[in-house]
Every structure is written in structure tokens, then in C-alpha cells.
């Protein structure tokens, strides 16, 4: 079995292939691994925003119902092992080493044949299939990477449900420059005769793409509609609302956008119930209440209040702004922002900066990161109090000190790529190991 250092060397070598859309290499790799993906029960989730949250909610409900549940998500934010979860616990170091040893052996066999070797993402995806198969998971929540049709996860043939969360402009370099093009790629996860649950798109052109694909694939379509939620409010640290026959729903996940995501998760669970999966109404409610997903309006500290969120595009920024206006704008808010250069960050700045009192910007440790100095120049077009920090740690320290003096709160958002570093920085400021908090603490 490979040691940790050898696994890291293997992953770095696989990463040299970059991003290659298509299914040929993953098919070759899974053939070497016995096509175990065909033996799994899978809920396949694509979309621009909300995929991870919907997976976390559905997983929590299924766990509450007594099922052994796997979740595969990407990219890794707080550590590679977090991408592979079973019953909401990360893969062990031993299992991680065992699985990636098997995947490397398959990868080596492909290389020896002189064929194109699978990319890092294909390797990570193959590892997920193998892990969940070996652990006898009864059901798997499988999140696409950035696409759908040509995403490595789309090697699966018969998902239990295909789920589409909200779709907006993102990853244009790979997915297309028009919303219809992006929607077409995302909707590529829809299978012949399948069940589809989708967040109802506001844009007519996106609805037309999804509905046309469902007609062509003879797939049933259920829309999850946020407008069906009534009485949305916060009570005792919980996000509460009523939803049809389900009655009162309570969420510990704090972002206002989680109402939409939870309705999507409910409808996906309902599709499973209609297929014979045993899940009660009380298990749905309890599962949703217990669900959590780190990096989505997560509280890192309460004194001062320090929140991080993975909003990294215009649509996510609009939803984050809605969350702030639901109860977080009665005091000063300090931002920490770091973005990737290939994102529509200017639209995000325009949306978010009017609510800030002070802004700190950073350069994420990522190959596609936008230099913080460039981000600061753009940010100053929308706000008069912007400071560029050399490191994420320095930004956390300055923001926390400023918040303590002013009685303000801190919100860090932008690229997911710097949130892991931020979490460590906030923990070190507290002088102790990081403890996860919820709004109900």
C-alpha cells in the first residue's frame, strides 16, 4: 500500500494533464477497476450553485432513515479526504491509502499501454466509485465537478434521480459563453427514462433547455420552487419556513439560499420515496435540521462573529446578499475577499460591496488566482475603504482586530480555494483548535 508521500506524488503527476472534458479516459480507468460504478445506487447532482448543500441535506435525511450513504464532492476545500464521506464522516487515512493505491495501479496499467492517462479529476472520481463500492454504500450522492455532459461523473448509466440545482454563468472557458450553452452541458446528466428534479430556473432559456432534454430523453421532470416556501424567518438560530404538506421545515444551515436548496433536496428525496425507498416525513424533517455543510455561511468564531461562505460568482453573490439582508446588516460588516481571475468578480463586487463597512482583499493560493492588488483596484470603484493584505493570515488578523474594536462582524467569501487557509488562520487567532459552531449554539 502506498505511503502518503507516494500518493501525493501520484496525484501531482496526474494533475499535469490539466482539465480534459470527455468520458474516454474515465471509461478506460473504470474498466480497469471492474466498472464498480454500475453497481452503485446514485443520485447525480449538477448545477452552478448549491450542489454541495443539496447533497449534504439529502445525505443527512438518508442517514436519518438508516441508510449507509456516500457523498463525493469537489473541489477539496479543507483537505482531500473531505471529498469522500460516508455517513457524513471523511474517509480514513487507511482507506484513502488503500483506494488510491488501487487506482494508481489501474492508472499505471493504462500508461503502460501507451494510452492517454486519466486526469487528476478522473482519478479522484474513480477513487470515489471504488471507495463507496468497497464500503457497500446503499446510496451515493454524486456531485459533478463543473459541468455535466462531459464530466467524469457522467460515466454512470442509470442514476436513481438526476438533480439540477440553480444554473448561472460560471466556468465559461469550458462550458460556453451563453447561459443556454451552460444549461445544455449541465442538463447532459439527464438519462433516458430517468427521474429529474430541478430548481426551477428564473430564466426562460434555461427552462427550455431542461424541458427539451427531458422530452428527448423521455424523463420525468419535477421543479423545486422556492416560491412554494411560506413564512421564511429566523427563529432561535434556525432558518424556518413552511412547505406544503411537509409543514414546518427547520434548517441549521444559515444562508437564505438554503431554502431553495432544501426544497430541491426534499423533492429529490420524494422521488426516491416514490421509487420505493423507505423515508418518513419525520426523518426528512430531522435530517434537514441536522444537515451541515462547511464553507456555506459557516461560523468560524462568535467573538467576533466570523463567517465564511463559498460565494464565487454573481448568482451566489446575490443569494449571499439576500442572506445578509435577512438579519446581518444591523451592524458593521467587514469583508475578506479573494477571487480567481477567470470569474466574473466585478459583478460580484458590484453586488456585495455596498453592504460592507470595510474591505480586505487577498490573493488565493491557486494557479488561476487574481492578484489581490488588482482586486483592490476593482474594489475601490465600488467602495472607499479597501485594503490589500499580503497573506490570508494577515487579512484574518486585521479583520478580526478591526471587528473587535468596532463591534463588527467579518464575512469572508470569493474563491473556495482560500477558505481552508482562512479556517486555520482564524483557529490560530483563537489560540486553540477550530471548533465548529452553529447559529443555535
pLDDT at residue number 433 = 38
Question: What do you get for the CA distance between the two ends of the chain, in Å?
Answer: 42
pLDDT score for 255? 80
C-alpha cell at 16: 499535469
Interval 15-34 mean pLDDT? 89
Give the separation between CA 93 and CA 84, rounded to whole angstroms. 11
Residue 95 near residue 103 (C-beta atoms within 8 A): no
Task: Point out the least confidently predicted range of 125-134, 175-184, 203-212.
Answer: 175-184
**Closest among 188, 183, 159 to 170, alpha carbons compared:** 183
Lowest-confidence region among 106-110, 198-202, 389-393, 418-422: 418-422
C-alpha 389/C-alpha 396 separation (Å) is: 9
Q: How confident is the model at residue 3 (pLDDT cuts 50, 70, 90)?
A: confident
Taking only the tens place, the pLDDT of each residue in 375-417 is 999 999 999 999 999 999 999 999 999 999 999 999 999 888 8
Q: HEC string of the chain?
A: CCCHHHHHHHHHHHHCCCCCCCCHHHHHHHHHCCCHHHHCCEEEEECCECHHHHHHHHHHHHHHCCCCEEEECCCCCCCHHHHEEECCEECCHHHHHHHHHHHHHHHHHHHHCCCCCCCHHHHHHHHHHHHHHHCCCCEEEEECCCCCCCCHHHHCCCCCEEEECECCCCCHHHHCCCHHHHHHHHHHHCCCCCEEEEECCCCHHHHHHHHHHHHHCCCEEEEECHHHEEEEEEECCEEEEEEHHHCEEEECCCCCCHHHHHHHHHHHHHHHHHCCCCCCHHHHHHHHHHCCCCCCCEEEEECCEEEECCCCCHHHHHHHHHHHHCCCCCCCEEEEEECECCCCHHHHHHHHHHHCCEEEECCCCCCCECCHHHHHHHHCCCCCCEEECCCHHHHHHHHHHHHHHHCCEEEEEECHHHHHHHHHHHHHHHCCCCCCECCCC
CATH 3.40.1190.10 residue spans of the chain: 4-290
Average pLDDT, the chain: 91
pLDDT over 60 (residue 39): yes
The mean pLDDT value for 329-352 works out to 90
Which of 392, 318, 389 lies closest to 355, judged by CA?
318
Determine if the peptide bond prior to 383 is cis (ω within 30°): no
> What's the average model confidence in pLDDT over 319-332?
81
Quick one: pLDDT at residue 430? 67
**Homologous superfamily, domain 298-430:** Mur ligase, C-terminal domain (3.90.190.20)
Q: What CATH number does the domain located at 4-290 have?
A: 3.40.1190.10
pLDDT band at 428 (very low <50, low <70, confident <90, very high): confident
More confident of the two residues 189 and 427: 189
Residue-wise pLDDT tens digits, 70-84: 999 987 667 789 899
Structure pTM?
0.86
Query: Would the pLDDT of 441 be above 70?
Result: no
> Any idea which residue has 426562460 for its cell?
204
Answer yes or no: is pLDDT of 176 > 70: no
Per-residue pLDDT at 168: 79
CB count within 10 Å of CB 337 equals 30
pLDDT at 437: 37
Closest CA to 157 of 255, 271, 73, 38: 38
Which pLDDT score, from 0 to 100, does residue 439 have?
A: 36
Kindly report, residue by residue over 297-323, the tens digit of the pLDDT. 888 888 889 999 888 788 888 888 988
Q: Which residues pair with 358 in a beta bridge?
A: 334
Per-residue model confidence (pLDDT) at position 436: 39
Higher pLDDT: 160 or 148? It is: 160
Who has greater pLDDT, 23 or 343? 23
As a whole number of angstroms, the distance between CA 350 and CA 84 comes to 36
| Residue range(s) of every CATH 3.90.190.20 domain in the chain | 298-430
Task: State the burial class of residue 93 (Cβ atoms within 10 Å of its Cβ: 0-12, 13-18, 19+).
Answer: exposed
C-alpha distances out from residue 172 to 51, 177, 182, Å: 18, 5, 8
Does the pLDDT at position 327 exceed 70?
no
Q: Is the pLDDT of residue 191 over 90?
A: yes
Q: Specify whether the CB–CB gap between 386 and 361 falls below 8 A.
A: yes
Distance CA 273, CA 160 (A): 11
For 328, half-sphere exposure in the C-beta direction (CA atoms, 13 angstrom radius) is 25
Radius of gyration, CA atoms only, the chain: 21
pLDDT above 60 (res 440): no
pLDDT value, residue 206: 93
Q: What percent of the chain has pLDDT over 70?
A: 94
Q: Using a pLDDT cut of 90, give the percent of the chain over it.
A: 71
Give the pLDDT confidence score for residue 75 in this predicted structure. 73
* CA distance readout (Å), 339 to 2, 255, 390, 414: 35, 20, 14, 5
At residue 171, the pLDDT reads 47
Amino acid at each position: 500500500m502506498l505511503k502518503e508521500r507516494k500518493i501525493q506524488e501520484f496525484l501531482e503527476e496526474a494533475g499535469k494533464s490539466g482539465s480534459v472534458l470527455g468520458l474516454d479516459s474515465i471509461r478506460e480507468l473504470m474498466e480497469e477497476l471492474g466498472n464498480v460504478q454500475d453497481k452503485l445506487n446514485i443520485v447525480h447532482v449538477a448545477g452552478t450553485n448549491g450542489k454541495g448543500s443539496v447533497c449534504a441535506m439529502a445525505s443527512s435525511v438518508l442517514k436519518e432513515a438508516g441508510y449507509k450513504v456516500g457523498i463525493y464532492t469537489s473541489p477539496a476545500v479543507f483537505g482531500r479526504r473531505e471529498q469522500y464521506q460516508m455517513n457524513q464522516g471523511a474517509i480514513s487515512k487507511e482507506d484513502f491509502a488503500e483506494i488510491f493505491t488501487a487506482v494508481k495501479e489501474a492508472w499505471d496499467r493504462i500508461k503502460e499501454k501507451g494510452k492517454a492517462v486519466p486526469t487528476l479529476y478522473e482519478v479522484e472520481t474513480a477513487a470515489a466509485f471504488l471507495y463507496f463500492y468497497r464500503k457497500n454504500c446503499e446510496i451515493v450522492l454524486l456531485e459533478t465537478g463543473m459541468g455535466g455532459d462531459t464530466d467524469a461523473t457522467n460515466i454512470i448509466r442509470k442514476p436513481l434521480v438526476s438533480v439540477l440545482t440553480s444554473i448561472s454563468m460560471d466556468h465559461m472557458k469550458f462550458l460556453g459563453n451563453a447561459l443556454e450553452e451552460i444549461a445544455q452541458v449541465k442538463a447532459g446528466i439527464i438519462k433516458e427514462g430517468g427521474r429529474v428534479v430541478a430548481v426551477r430556473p428564473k430564466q426562460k432559456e434555461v427552462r427550455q433547455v431542461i424541458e427539451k432534454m427531458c422530452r428527448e430523453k423521455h424523463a420525468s421532470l419535477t421543479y423545486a420552487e422556492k416560491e412554494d416556501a411560506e413564512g421564511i424567518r429566523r427563529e432561535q438560530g434556525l432558518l424556518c419556513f413552511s412547505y406544503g404538506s411537509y409543514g414546518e421545515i427547520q434548517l441549521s444551515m444559515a444562508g437564505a439560499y438554503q431554502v431553495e436548496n432544501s426544497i430541491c433536496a426534499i423533492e429529490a428525496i420524494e422521488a426516491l420515496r416514490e421509487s420505493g425507498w423507505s423515508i418518513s416525513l419525520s426523518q426528512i424533517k430531522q435530517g434537514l435540521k441536522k444537515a451541515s455543510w462547511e464553507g456555506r455561511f459557516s461560523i468560524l468564531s462568535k467573538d467576533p462573529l466570523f463567517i465564511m461562505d463559498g460565494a464565487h460568482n454573481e448568482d451566489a453573490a446575490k443569494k449571499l446578499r439576500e442572506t445578509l439582508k435577512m438579519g446581518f446588516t444591523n451592524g458593521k460588516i467587514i469583508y475578506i475577499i479573494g477571487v480567481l481571475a477567470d470569474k466574473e468578480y466585478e459583478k460580484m463586487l458590484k453586488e456585495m460591496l455596498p453592504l460592507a463597512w470595510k474591505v480586505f482583499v487577498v490573493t488565493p493560493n491557486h494557479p488561476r488566482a487574481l492578484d489581490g492588488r488588482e482586486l483592490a483596484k476593482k474594489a475601490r470603484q465600488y467602495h472607499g475603504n479597501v485594503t490589500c493584505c499580503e497573506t490570508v493570515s494577515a487579512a484574518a488578523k486585521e479583520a478580526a482586530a478591526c471587528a473587535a474594536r468596532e463591534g463588527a462582524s467579518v464575512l469572508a467569501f470569493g474563491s473556495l480555494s482560500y477558505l481552508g487557509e482562512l479556517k486555520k488562520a482564524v483557529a490560530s487567532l483563537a489560540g486553540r483548535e477550530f471548533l465548529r459552531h452553529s447559529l443555535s449554539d
